[in-house]
């Protein structure tokens, strides 16, 4: 039974050696490439990914010392630190072999070789390569998982008719690998819905990677999503897998996708069409296998009509569309949500609060909730901290600096349903309320600082 080595590169200045090795190894490798001139190795490595490299130690200018072999070994590992190199020479000894291993070679083979022994050596080296690649992937995945675990996450809570329709859609789409576009205002639970789709899918045991597209500077977009190689730019001190690579096999959630500029939309579309990415500083395509879920609070169809969002990209990402209803369209869920957060925060703060009065729930149900579920969560947390009672009362809840729900609409009564105008007004109100403090305003709006800065620039605020 033959052994597969993947792509194999053989570098030797002896044409007869190259021919003999190619005849021997072509049955065991996906592809065998040969090269007589080591000067061409860097170019080959920049354009092709090799699973194994069989490198001669002595070329014509340096017959016996192995100096050239060590030089090219170092050059190969500089270009690809994960490269698996087996050195081969007719002039070898134990000291040379030990030095080769210390400098990064996987193994050492003497000419003339024994076919079975050479195959065994290459098989071991191939397994080493697989282990190195897997370790790098798991390290990148682990870093991403730690970041995701640090972010707050709660299950979706709701039993209203609108939420039942959301659950039904999630159950249907989760069984497939179809791309999903989640639409909804800030604070409606778009990421929670994305995680629910992932947990109910056949990829549930794989990684869920989330990316806030609005928080990524345009100059770092390719590096973050596609990865980079060492030396690609000033701060690229090591190879780094991008989010597409890290999420391969699992689910990739691209939040705030409506904030992407047209040039970045084009780059994302190209990657999705080809199902492969190219790390910054490299020419090697890297295939990926992800279940893509995107989300936005922007009026995406209006943006397409106004040529601010590519129609072909929209078709690519919205095989199934899921709309998260705002809290004002699911008022039946307010009592359920408020009690859920009450239980969470009374435990966190060791509070004696035991419940919410019917009058307080009635007050909450009259409010129109511009910040949706996230606003309700923050409001309940504040009430638990500040109350003097064991049961939360109407006076424990404050709306946008006011005492009554109808007064809370001051500054939030709109004569338009244009979401951009509504968003501009809400942002201005948050900035006024926070005295221009970006961090406080972003927290009130349920945004990251980066997302808020992007919106300020967009609206010229």
- Where are the domains positioned within the chain? 7-133, 151-323, 328-399, 414-461
Q: Looking at the whole model, is its pTM more than 0.75?
A: no
- Fold designation for 7-133: Rossmann fold (3.40.50)
Same fold, 151-323 and 328-399: no
Topology of the domain comprising 328-399: Helicase, Ruva Protein; domain 3 (1.10.8)
Q: What's the topology of domain 414-461?
A: Arc Repressor Mutant, subunit A (1.10.10)
Range 151-323 classified under CATH 3.40.50.11540: no
- Encode the chain in three state secondary structure: CCCCCCEEEEECCCHHHHHHHHHHHCCCCCEEEEECCHHHHHHHHHHCCCCEEEEECCCCCCCCCCHHHHHHHHHHHHHCCCCCEEEEECCCCHHHHHHHHHCCCCEEEECCCCHHHHHHHHHHHHHHHHHHHHHHHHHHHHHHHHHHHHCCCCCCCCCCHHHHHHHHHHHHHHCCCCCEEEECCCCCCHHHHHHHHHHCCCCCCCCEEEEEHHHCCHHHHHHHHHEECCCCCCCCCCCEECHHHHHCCCEEEEECHHHCCHHHHHHHHHHHHHCEEECECCCCEEECCCEEEEEECCCHHHHHHCCCCCHHHHHHHCCEEEECCCHHHCHHHHHHHHHHHHHHHHHHCCCCCCEECHHHHHHHHHCCCCCHHHHHHHHHHHHHHHCCCCEECHHHCCECCECCCCHHHCCCCCCCCCHHHHHHHHHHHHHHHCCCCHHHHHHHHCCCHHHHHHHHHHHCC
- pLDDT per position in the chain (461 positions), as tens? 345 677 889 988 888 888 888 888 888 888 888 988 888 888 888 888 888 888 888 766 545 556 777 888 888 888 887 788 888 877 666 667 677 777 888 887 878 888 888 888 888 888 877 777 776 666 666 655 555 544 433 468 888 999 999 999 999 999 999 999 999 998 899 999 999 999 999 998 899 999 999 888 888 899 999 998 888 887 778 888 899 999 999 999 999 999 999 999 999 999 999 999 999 998 889 999 999 999 999 999 999 999 999 999 999 999 999 999 999 999 999 999 999 999 999 999 999 999 999 999 999 999 989 889 989 999 999 999 999 889 999 999 987 544 444 444 444 555 555 667 777 788 888 877 776 777 778 877 877 777 787 787 777 77
């Amino acid at each position: 039974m033959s052994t597969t080595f993947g792509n194999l590169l053989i570098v030797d200045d002896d044409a007869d050696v190259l021919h003999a090795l190619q005849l021997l190894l072509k049955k065991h490798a996906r592809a065998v490439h040969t090269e007589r001139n080591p000067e061409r190795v860097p170019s080959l490595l920049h354009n092709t990914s090799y699973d194994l490299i069989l490198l001669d130690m002595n070329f014509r200018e340096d017959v016996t010392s192995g100096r050239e072999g060590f030089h090219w070994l170092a050059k190969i590992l500089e270009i690809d630190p994960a490269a698996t190199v087996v050195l081969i020479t007719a002039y070898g000894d134990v000291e040379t072999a030990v030095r080769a291993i210390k400098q990064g070679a996987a193994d050492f083979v003497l000419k003339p070789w024994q076919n079975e022994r050479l195959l065994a050596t290459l098989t071991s080296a191939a397994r080493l390569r697989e282990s190195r690649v897997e370790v790098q992937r798991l390290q990148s995945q682990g870093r991403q998982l730690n970041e995701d675990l640090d972010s707050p996450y709660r299950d979706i809570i709701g039993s209203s008719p609108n939420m039942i329709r959301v659950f039904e859609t999630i159950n249907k789409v989760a069984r497939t690998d179809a791309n999903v576009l989640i639409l909804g205002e800030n604070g409606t639970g778009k990421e929670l819905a994305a995680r629910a789709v992932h947990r109910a899918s056949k990829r549930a045991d794989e990684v869920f990677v989330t990316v806030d597209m609005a928080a990524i500077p345009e100059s770092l977009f390719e590096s973050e999503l596609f990865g980079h190689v060492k030396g690609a730019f000033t701060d690229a001190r090591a190879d780094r897998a991008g989010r597409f690579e890290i999420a391969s096999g699992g689910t990739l959630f691209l939040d705030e996708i409506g904030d992407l500029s047209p040039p970045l939309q084009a780059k994302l579309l190209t990657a999705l069409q080809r199902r492969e990415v190219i790390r910054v500083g490299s020419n090697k395509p890297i295939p990926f296998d992800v279940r893509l879920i995107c989300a936005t609070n922007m009026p995406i169809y209006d943006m397409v009509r106004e040529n601010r969002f590519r129609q072909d990209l929209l078709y690519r990402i919205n095989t199934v569309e899921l709309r998260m209803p705002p809290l004002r369209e699911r008022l039946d869920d307010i009592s359920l949500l408020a009690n859920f957060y009450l239980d969470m925060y009374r435990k966190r703060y060791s509070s004696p609060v035991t419940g919410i009065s019917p009058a307080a729930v009635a007050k909450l149900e009259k409010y129109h909730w511009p910040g949706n579920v996230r606003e309700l969560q923050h409001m309940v947390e504040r009430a638990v901290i500040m109350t003097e009672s064991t049961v939360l009362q109407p006076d424990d809840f404050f709306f946008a600096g006011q005492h009554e729900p109808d007064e809370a609409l001051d500054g939030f009564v709109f004569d338009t349903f244009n979401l951009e105008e509504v968003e501009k007004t809400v942002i201005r109100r948050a900035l006024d309320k926070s005295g221009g403090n970006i961090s406080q305003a972003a927290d009130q709006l349920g945004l990251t600082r980066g997302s808020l800065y992007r919106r300020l620039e967009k609206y010229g605020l």
